[in-house]
Amino acid sequence: MLKVENIRTFYGNIEALKGVSLEVNRGEIVTLIGANGAGKSTTLMSISGVTPPRTGSVVFEGRDITRMPTDRIVATGITQVPEGRLIFPGLTVRENLMMGAYLRNDKAGIAQDLEHIYGLFPILKERRAQHGGTLSGGEQQMLAIGRALMSRPKLLLLDEPSLGLAPIVVENIFGVITKINAEGVTVMLVEQNAQMALSIAHRAYVLETGHVTLSGDARELMNDPKVQSAYLGLD
């Protein structure tokens, strides 16, 4: 479905991605784990066209999207929930969700999806008239995921959805990720919480300073001694 081939992305002269290749198949949850500054967010931003790679290619469903502008990449079916959520603080919860459906014009479908998201995150329905900025961190994360789902993505990119959240909220959010995946949305999940990510993912990639150093079946990686010592806090 998505094929990232040997991309190199720069911030000025800093090379953040030094030739990253990875693949996501339809229906999968693929996770990308790695330490701070490994280039996880940059990988997602390169896929979304926010920081286009200097060389290499990103192909989605057979189309080269490497140098497409971000809004057109979203139109192809890739939506990202960025790190730090980046909800619109001065828009109401409902307006935030409607902005996710910006490219859609099917009124009935949008109304249906809105109800679906209120079903996934009932708290958002309660808070629908409140400004996004007044929500708690966990609620904002739910809003950011709900907003992205409103675009009816084929591929959902999630950047550290567990960041800064209480374990119970993380459980809830990971439960929803599994659920939307079961409903047919392919997921690429970036996480520092490797334990959680590997437990719901089918496959995984390990990123270290701009390189993919390991990849494979999520369960196998969980038992890999290198992964265990570096990312799972086991010896």
CA atoms within 13 A on the CB side of 49: 17
Task: Provide the minimum distance between the beta carbon of 92 and ligand ATP in the complex, in angstroms, as a whole number.
Answer: 29
Residue with tokens 């999630």: 158
Residues 6+ apart with CB under 8 A from 154: 1, 61, 77, 78, 185, 186
What type of residue is 81? V
9-48: which residues touch Mg ion (CB under 5 A)? 40-41
Residues 6+ apart with CB under 8 A from 105: none
5-44: which residues touch another protein (CB under 8 A)? none
Q: Which of 95, 116, 128, 208 binds another protein (CB under 8 A)?
A: 95
**102 is a contact residue toward another protein (CB under 8 A):** yes
Residue with tokens 């086991």: 234
> Does residue 182 sit in helix, strand or coil?
helix
**147 is a contact residue toward another protein (CB under 8 A):** yes
The one of Mg ion, another protein, ligand ATP, none whose footprint includes residue 147, by CB under 5 to 8 A per kind, is another protein
**34 is a contact residue toward ligand ATP (CB under 6 A):** yes
12-31: which residues touch ligand ATP (CB under 6 A)? 14, 16
Cβ-contact 23, 202 below 8 angstroms: no
Task: Provide the minimum distance between the beta carbon of 199 and ligand ATP in the complex, in angstroms, as a whole number.
Answer: 19
Contact pattern for another protein over residues 40 through 59, marking x by CB under 8 A: --------x-x---------
Q: How far apart are CA 53 and CA 7, in angstroms?
A: 6
Angle at 113 between CA 110 and CA 117, to 5 degrees: 135
211-230: which residues touch ligand ATP (CB under 6 A)? none
**232 is a contact residue toward another protein (CB under 8 A):** no
The one of ligand ATP, Mg ion, another protein, none whose footprint includes residue 38, by CB under 5 to 8 A per kind, is ligand ATP
Q: How far apart are CA 131 and CA 124, in angstroms?
A: 11
Segment holding 228, helix H or strand E: helix 225-231
What type of residue is 120? L
Task: Provide the minimum distance between the beta carbon of 207 and Mg ion in the complex, in angstroms, as a whole number.
Answer: 10
Q: Which residues bind another protein (CB under 8 A)?
A: 48, 50, 69-71, 74-75, 79-80, 82, 86-91, 95, 98-100, 102-103, 147, 151
